[in-house]
Amino acid sequence: MKTLIAAIAGPDLAAAPRADLLVFPGAEAASVRARDGAALLERAAATARRCNAYVVPGLYVKDGGLCLGLVAPDGTLVLEQRATHLNRAWAGDLRRADTIVLADTPFGRLALVPDVDVYKGEVLRIAALQGAEVAVCVQVLPPQDYSEAMVLAGAWQQAQQNCLYIVSVSDQHACLLGPCDTASDHSGFLTHPGDPLPQRAELSAEKRLAAYKTFPVFQSLNPRLYRNHLDELCG
Amino acid sequence: MLDSFLKFLARSLQRKAAPEKIRSYLQARGYPSLPGHVPSLPGHVRVAAVQEQLRVLKTWQAYVERMYAFTARAAGAGAQLVCFPEENGLLLLGQLPLVGPLLRLATRSMGNPPPPVPAEELEPVRLSSSAWDLPDGSLVARLLAPFSPFFQETFTTVFGELARGFGVTIMAGSCMQVADGKLVNRAYLFGPDGTLLGVQDKVHPVDMEMAMGMTPAERLQAVPTAVGRLGFPVCMDATYFETFKILRALGAQIVVIPIANLEPFQHYWALRGIWPRVQENGVYGIKSALVGRLGGLEFTGKAGVFAPLELTPDRSGVLAEAQTFDRDELVVADLDLDRLEAYRSDYFDDSNPALYRKYFPDIYR
């Protein structure tokens, strides 16, 4: 992994901060459903070329799936991930994917995590064990369901149990996360959910390595245990 | 010479703390009636998590009194399940005349843990079992092996008697020991009739334990008890979603995690365990903690009882938690198993077996 600058844009995309990876702010479910996915990706491509950055423009529905896309600085769509888990907002008409794909970028291997996939340990573990170092999680989280606890129970704890940097965005919050010791206060919050947009932080490769040395989470994985309980893990 | 000396010490401890002496002691002490006991409602369980400050207990009687006091306090508060911390059994070594120098010798003998994965190997991450292919006969295992029969006998006698005497289910915590030739960190569960219901060895040893030559267990279990189906893995096991997913699939309603966290207290470091696992898997969680300082080592808490966000009054996921991270405390909370059974989450519940079967056999190599 190489150090990168990640940012979450505010409502004014023209004023987006300089970054290697730029994520659009979140949107509510109705807006996501109403979106023209192709138009969204076109807007992302224009932003990517203008800002010379990788861009994740947010959730969209395409071909019966809830999707996130990654657009490269040249405007090409280099990664598209369909949600592998769905909640009631989507499950009635959309279908789950059964594949997790990663993108190799100049700063490292990146995973896209649509919506409630962020709450599934299986998803981020599969991504991490395939080499993911950075993840972008975009979800819909109605105000009555939002709390900081939902961020802790989702993107924050995934960053800890998989040693990942995570850009976490919803219609209620935005923050940049990493393993606890990548933050100066050991919280894992590089920016906080209450911080105004735009947000920007350095995702340091050296700090991630140092954090791993103090909390080498993959060293204690127990493949024999997991193989012995494959039925339980796959259920 | 060292082995012979250790065996002599171990036999001496076993003679002093013979099971019949412990039973007689406890029978003479008696078990008071409990005016504060709350009759249980159907589906409701009152649980207690012990936060236990490290002390050198120089006699077996002192050990028994300390465990008796926590159990009595918990039972007096109406608890039907009492949970003790990780390495609760090792405190029996306080009886040794040379416990200070032996502890320093043991901690010095740990040497260096397996080297951290070099940077270039973090990307991509590779799983390796080689961290567990350590030389046999580490000094820690040599030191503990002669005492292991003493640990097993004394631990099971003390907690079997306390469980029966107070009529409570006890997760007695764990004890590092040599069993069947392997160094393990073993947790014990007792029923209210004093029966040993099961043992669970740690499945995710930390790097220090791996350096000692600890063997991780390869199976988890959910044990039916008078207070529900319990899983009781150990400490670091709570860092991994796999642990709790397996236990939930085996029917666990309550997962008890005894800890002995060897690090200064920091809220977010401490959050990297049971709390997110409870949210992910829709179970109740109980954390019992060994805390305090001994031999240059610092252990911190906090003990607590946890539930899915929607099952807690303030949606924090915390039913009760210790006020301090380094003192004796007893944390008590009520669990509603019927409410847990009915609980559904629009965020955590969805499942995709096709995805898991596609990837897990390959990535867990």
Instruction: Inform me whether the C-beta atom of residue B276 falls under 8 Å from chain A C-beta atoms.
Output: yes
B201 phi and psi, to 5 degrees? -85, 150
Among A96, A149, A212, beta carbon nearest to B116: A212
- Residue B9 forms part of a structural domain: yes
| Cβ-proximal residues to B272 (8 Å cutoff; 6+ apart), any chain | A157, A160, A161, A180, A215, B239
Three-state SS for A118-182 is HHCHHHHHHHHHCCCCEEEEEECCCCCCCCHHHHHHHHHHHHHHHCCEEEEEECCCEEEECCHHH
C-alpha–C-alpha distance, residues B350 and B280, integer Å: 11
Instruction: Inform me whether the C-beta atom of residue B312 falls under 8 Å from chain A C-beta atoms.
Output: no
Instruction: Inform me whether the C-beta atom of residue B119 falls under 8 Å from chain A C-beta atoms.
Output: yes
Quick one: what percent of chain B has pLDDT higher than 70? 87
Among residues B6, B49, B332, B300, the alpha carbon closest in space to that of B143 is found at: B6
What band does B114 get if pLDDT is binned at 50, 70 and 90?
very low
Q: Do A216 and B216 touch (CB under 8 A)?
A: no
Alpha-carbon Rg for chain A in angstroms:
17
Q: Do A187 and B268 touch (CB under 8 A)?
A: yes
Q: How many domains, in total, are found in chain B?
A: 1
C-alpha–C-alpha distance, residues A104 and A229, integer Å: 32
Instruction: Inform me whether the C-beta atom of residue B172 falls under 8 Å from chain A C-beta atoms.
Output: no
Token couple for A184: 């100066």
Contact at 8 Å (CB) between B170 and B184?
A: no
- The pTM score is 0.94
C-alpha–C-alpha distance, residues B165 and B30, integer Å: 8
CA atoms within 13 A on the CB side of A158: 34
Q: Residue B109 above 60 pLDDT?
A: no
C-alpha–C-alpha distance, residues A139 and A113, integer Å: 8
> Which residue in B133, B215, B352 has the most chain A C-beta atoms within 10 A of its own C-beta, making it the best mutation to test that interface?
B352
Contact at 8 Å (CB) between A140 and A171?
A: yes
- Residue B290 forms part of a structural domain: yes
Query: Which range of residues forms the domain containing residue B89?
Result: 2-20+45-113+137-338
Query: What is the reported pLDDT for B135?
Result: 45
Greatest extent of chain A over all pairs of C-alpha atoms, in Å? 53
Query: What is the reported pLDDT for B284?
Result: 98
* ipTM of this predicted structure: 0.97
Helix axes B19-29, B148-166, angle to 10 degrees: 30
Q: Residue B208 above 90 pLDDT?
A: no
Token couple for B95: 């009886």
Give me the CATH topology for the region A4-234.
Answer: Nitrilase/N-carbamoyl-D-aminoacid amidohydrolase (3.60.110)
Query: What is the reported pLDDT for B32?
Result: 84
What band does A47 get if pLDDT is binned at 50, 70 and 90?
very high
Q: Residue B143 above 50 pLDDT?
A: yes
- Residue B213 forms part of a structural domain: yes
What band does A9 get if pLDDT is binned at 50, 70 and 90?
very high
Residue in chain B lying closest to A124 (CA): B241
Taking contacts as CB-CB distances below 8 angstroms, the residues of chain B near A145 are 346-347
Token couple for B71: 């159990």
Chains A and B: how many Cβ contacts under 8 Å? 202
Q: Which of A78-87, B56-65, B292-301, B322-331 has the lowest average pLDDT?
A: B292-301
What band does A83 get if pLDDT is binned at 50, 70 and 90?
very high
Query: What is the reported pLDDT for B100?
Result: 67
Residue B104 to residues B110, B145, B177: CA-CA distances in angstroms? 10, 17, 18
Token couple for B320: 């009760």
Give the Cβ contact number of residue A203 at 10 Å: 27
Helices and strands of chain B, counted as H and E runs: 13, 13
Taking contacts as CB-CB distances below 8 angstroms, the residues of chain A near B308 are none
Could you read off the pLDDT of B121-142 as tens digits, one per residue? 443 333 333 333 444 447 788 8
Q: Helices (DSSP H) in B110-182: which residue ranges? A: 119-122, 139-144, 148-166
Domain boundaries in chain A?
4-234
